[in-house]
Amino acid sequence: MNKLSQLFVALSMNLLIVGQASAVSPGQGTSAKMTLIKELMGLQGQEQGAQEMIKSIIEEQKISRPELKLEFWKEFESSLNKIFNKYQDKMLKIYEAEFSEKTLKDAIAFYKTESGKNLLTAGQKVLMQNQDLLIDLQSEVADFIMDKLASLDDAKGAQKKQAQ
């Protein structure tokens, strides 16, 4: 699996973890609740994580396409930001549906404690390591499936040749 494919697999697996702050559409829950959701997402480092992911994707692509001009990369980055914003809106709705204002307040209070800060820092490292493991697992399972199915096809082909 090439590096770009790994990035997109990682992106798809972590959309609920990594996001980017965006404007809340009118009518999306209470203003107070949306403010709490954004604060929680901010404490979780979601905007920073999204910006780092976008930067990583762009840098990886710049290496493979050095002939492309700065204007292209600015538009490319803008398009990636729009994609992240679309998913951010969906994430806001998920948080809104799953968490009460009290739960959000309690989580924010916890994440502001030393233990909460440590959990966020260590948790991000653990998630990144898990992401790498999941990518490896996904690749290994895909290889296994392809090999297993290919061996079945090979066996059927050999049987047909013997029958003829």
Alpha carbon distance 95, 100 (integer Å): 9
Asked if pLDDT for residue 48 goes beyond 90, the answer is no
Alpha carbon distance 54, 154 (integer Å): 43
Alpha carbon distance 101, 151 (integer Å): 55
The sign of the torsion formed by the CA atoms of 132, 134, 140, 142 equals negative
pLDDT of residue 13: 42
pLDDT of residue 140: 94
How confident is residue 11, by pLDDT bands cut at 50, 70 and 90?
Answer: very low
Mean pLDDT, residues 81-97 taken together = 90
Domain ranges of the chain: 3-117
Mean pLDDT, residues 89-98 taken together = 92
- Considering the entire predicted model, what is its pTM? 0.56
For 95, residues 6+ apart whose C-beta sits below 8 A from its C-beta are: 37, 40, 41, 104
- Cβ-contact 18, 49 below 8 angstroms: yes
How confident is residue 95, by pLDDT bands cut at 50, 70 and 90?
Answer: very high
